[in-house]
Amino acid sequence: MRTAIDPATAAGLVPDGASVMVGGFMGVGSPHRIIDALVARGARGLTIIANDTARPGVGIGKLISAGCVARAVVSHIGTNPETQKRMIAGEIAVDLVPQGTLAERIRAAGAGLGGVLTRTGIGTLVADGKVVLRVGGEDFLVEEALGADVALLAARTADYSGNLAYALTARNFNPLMAMAAKLVIAEPDEIVPVGVLPPDAVHTPGVVIHHLLERRRHG
Amino acid sequence: MRTAIDPATAAGLVPDGASVMVGGFMGVGSPHRIIDALVARGARGLTIIANDTARPGVGIGKLISAGCVARAVVSHIGTNPETQKRMIAGEIAVDLVPQGTLAERIRAAGAGLGGVLTRTGIGTLVADGKVVLRVGGEDFLVEEALGADVALLAARTADYSGNLAYALTARNFNPLMAMAAKLVIAEPDEIVPVGVLPPDAVHTPGVVIHHLLERRRHG
Amino acid sequence: MDSKELIARRVAMELVDNTLVNLGIGLPTLVANYVPKGVHVFFQSENGIIGFGAPPPEGMEDEHLTDAGGGFVSALPGAVAFDSAVSFALIRGGHLAMTVLGGLQVDRHGRLANWMVPGKLVPGMGGAMDLVSGARRVVVAMAHTQKGVAKIVADLSLPPTSARRVSLIVTDLAVIEPTDGGLVLRETAPGVSVADVVRATEAPLIVAEDVRDMVLA
Amino acid sequence: MDSKELIARRVAMELVDNTLVNLGIGLPTLVANYVPKGVHVFFQSENGIIGFGAPPPEGMEDEHLTDAGGGFVSALPGAVAFDSAVSFALIRGGHLAMTVLGGLQVDRHGRLANWMVPGKLVPGMGGAMDLVSGARRVVVAMAHTQKGVAKIVADLSLPPTSARRVSLIVTDLAVIEPTDGGLVLRETAPGVSVADVVRATEAPLIVAEDVRDMVLA
């Protein structure tokens, strides 16, 4: 069984200066209520690991605009002029990582791998300072595992034991990040009793989830 | 759309001497009808890549007993005395690979990775002759990607476009092998129209599947 | 027909039946509008779906279903959803038959630059480096020149997206194929002469013996 | 109570509430029968399931649902199925709180050998190397001696399963904890003296100041 916590409690579990994985792709599949609570508590100095910084006012874009973020490890920032502005002003450091490499580095951390060998980035700025290994007559970059202190996820459905199922393109980085952080908090659209999700429909086993966000309360 | 082929045709697409991935774990989740057809056509010299060789008379065990196999790349052979006997007699070469490493090597081939870095095998016979890389102050073995000419899979459900869904522990290596071979043939328990499998219930996208085995015909 | 439609319709002729295709954001997306009759392709969006479709009827949008640009899409029967690791396993593992991407520059070796302009614009590579390194065929769809400046250049002045040579360049003026010997001019757009193309191209061009007119879908 | 039950009941005391646990084939499997009251653990079978249960009623077996030995099992409410890469990501990624494995030998450094006897028996490592390298705690459950020959030895004569030190050794005679300083004798089985254990052990033993009686679940 997992316990359900409220957004302020969840935000309180994310210390200033922590490295934080945030699920989502342009805000789709991001844990919006936890993000709002992080902004409300005035989080500072976070290293955000995510696909992108969405747009101003959307998802991770809110963390950027509120000044919560010191560093962003992402595959692109082109959709958020605010991130670009703060990067140029020296307020946010940005590490750009090819999207597939970002996915594999996060997965590697969750799977106990030291890293993976990839063609992506060979002959580009991405290869600077990295080890190149020759396998089967071809050069591969060694890309190291990337873990985090905290992962903040969104899911379509959770059961009481923390098993998660995602919907459509809101899945994206969420199942990878679920495995790759020391503390994992998931914000599901709905929470159902144990046994409602069939074993083959679960995308993330509940054993890796530490907390669920309580369901949204009305009026 | 994929076309459905009969077992003999499927077996005919697997040339003697080919490297062949076979899904299954102790015969559970193995493509039994294709295996029977391979035995019937008298396949020879196959390199089998699989979790295990099951038991005599079961799944891959049938290929072993019928003399189809020249080499087995597997995580264990302890459950099949026939494999042990043929190995000792020099009829079958056996490459033992830790199960998690086998899974990652197959996945790497399907994902276009040159390999992965793993702790498993450090300080054991498995490390002989392999590159060791130091990452974050820790030693990791470089384990190279492992692809194959053909993958033979079992699935619970396929739709006409080749999308696959697996059931329970019959999933095992099947979705990994589906991505890692030049030719991929899947043997589903049932075939349903396109649209019957919801997008989130599909475990293997049909685009990587070349052929489906036709449904079992009754009397 | 404007030049974007021209490019999209020419690229559409490259689509092969029963294959997996990824279209980049912007111009490449238009290619989906011109799939030739009798050709069925599976379109992948790298945020995690194969088989997405046109935007849904108003009021039917699902916040869990968007394209890589974050715009609402629909799902066709047989669609498949997956996570980002699987999405890029498809892209990098040789399963993607073709990607169509925009470009800032292509050099005489056929190397593409399309992810940053140092000191000016640093959007990031997103999935572009993976797509160029991993797709079986890489088609660059772009305007031949920008504000009169050639984009097909002798040497890249921008950082490359990949060391790999792209498969084909389709512009509003021409179709050019990078080869071992250099850039080969294969086709010209309606009303465009070989001389026009050579003039608008900084990189040396090898003019094919049988330069044809572009065939459009 | 036979010695297997004794070992299983002692190992069961190591189970921690709300954690993921893997039990090896054979003796370790028995541990599931003695989970202490109030403790809920999630049992993983490395062939791809968390939350499997006892064999189903006759006639209810599902050919798609077995344990790692290939025997029919059932699934408990909340069970999760996954592929072999995810299964070993759980094992190797630090998500598995404890694994219980059989052993052929353990040496004075706490290194385990359990996957082959050169020239005699080569069953293969299966998932053992991954489990020993990846689980947060590794508990070896085995008979203290085999046919009178010590299994806890000064130096391994068999190939090691991992360079990593195991966390605890539970036998029919004793509980021994490998530490930086060596093997520490912590507990003795009912009716077994410290001298009995030392006699049956080839490796040097450090006898804890407060050797206790085994507590059984």
pLDDT, one tens digit per residue, over C121-144 is 788 999 999 999 999 999 999 999
Q: Are residues A120 and A188 in the same domain?
A: no
The residue segments making up the domain with residue B128 are: 103-145
Residue A41 has pLDDT above 70, yes or no: yes
Give the end of a domain, one of A145, A174, A209.
Answer: A145
DSSP label of B86: H
How far, in Å, CA of A31 to CA of B166, rounded? 29
State the burial class of residue C195 (Cβ atoms within 10 Å of its Cβ: 0-12, 13-18, 19+): exposed
User: Which residue is associated with the tokens 């899911």?
Assistant: A155
| Cβ–Cβ below 8 Å for B118 and A104 | no
- Which chain D residue has the Cα nearest residue A175? D86
A172 vs C: CB within 8 A: yes
Q: How far is CA D201 from CA D103, D118, D194, in A?
A: 14, 23, 11
Q: Are residues A62 and A80 in the same domain?
A: yes
- pLDDT at position D174 is 98
Q: Are residues A115 and A164 in the same domain?
A: no
B64, part of any domain: yes
| Cβ–Cβ below 8 Å for B28 and D122 | no
- pLDDT at position B219 is 59
| Cβ–Cβ below 8 Å for C66 and A28 | yes
Q: Are residues B47 and B87 in the same domain?
A: yes
| Cβ–Cβ below 8 Å for A123 and C162 | yes
The residue segments making up the domain with residue C103 are: 3-213
Residue A219 has pLDDT above 70, yes or no: no
Across all residues in chain C, what is the average pLDDT? 96
With contact defined as 3+ CB pairs under 8 Å, the chains touching A are B, C, D
How far, in Å, CA of A30 to CA of A189, rounded? 11
- pLDDT at position D151 is 98
* Total domains present in chain A: 2
Q: One digit per residue, pLDDT tens: chain C, 217 residues?
A: 899 999 999 999 999 999 999 998 888 999 999 999 999 999 999 999 999 999 999 999 999 999 998 999 999 999 999 999 999 999 999 999 999 999 999 999 999 999 999 887 788 999 999 999 999 999 999 999 999 999 999 999 999 999 999 999 999 999 999 999 999 999 999 999 999 999 999 999 999 999 999 999 8
Q: Are residues A40 and A67 in the same domain?
A: yes
* Total domains present in chain D: 1
| Cβ–Cβ below 8 Å for B145 and A167 | no
A216, part of any domain: no
CATH code for position A36: 3.40.1080.10
Which tens digit of pLDDT belongs to each residue from A202-218? 999 999 999 999 998 77
A217, part of any domain: no
Give the nearest partner residue to A114 out of B140, B144, B166, using CB atoms. B140
Q: Are residues B112 and B156 in the same domain?
A: no
Q: Which residues of A touch B115 (CB under 8 A)?
A: 116-117, 133, 135, 140
A206, part of any domain: no
Q: Which residues of C touch A170 (CB under 8 A)?
A: 63-65
A168 vs D: CB within 8 A: no
CATH code for position D26: 3.40.1080.10
A214, part of any domain: no
Q: How far is CA A60 from CA A54, A74, A148, A201, B91, in A?
A: 6, 11, 16, 28, 60
Number of H helices, E strands in chain B: 6, 12
Q: Are residues A112 and A178 in the same domain?
A: no
Q: Is C127 left (phi over 0), alpha (psi -120 to 50) or beta?
A: alpha
Q: Walk along chain D (217 residues) in steps of 10 and give the mean pLDDT of each run.
A: 95 97 91 95 96 94 94 96 98 98 97 90 92 98 96 97 97 98 97 97 97 94
Q: Are residues B135 and B35 in the same domain?
A: no
Residues of chain B where predicted confidence (pLDDT) is lower than 50: none
Q: Which of C22, C73, C80, C98 is the mutation pick for testing B, counting most B CBs within 10 A?
A: C80
Q: Are residues A64 and A39 in the same domain?
A: yes
B170 vs D: CB within 8 A: yes
The amino acid at D125: M
Q: Are residues A115 and A184 in the same domain?
A: no
- pLDDT at position A2 is 86
Residue A161 has pLDDT above 80, yes or no: yes
Closest approach of chain C CAs to the CA of B110, in angstroms? Answer: 5
Q: Are residues B110 and B159 in the same domain?
A: no
- pLDDT at position D1 is 83
Q: Are residues A88 and A129 in the same domain?
A: no
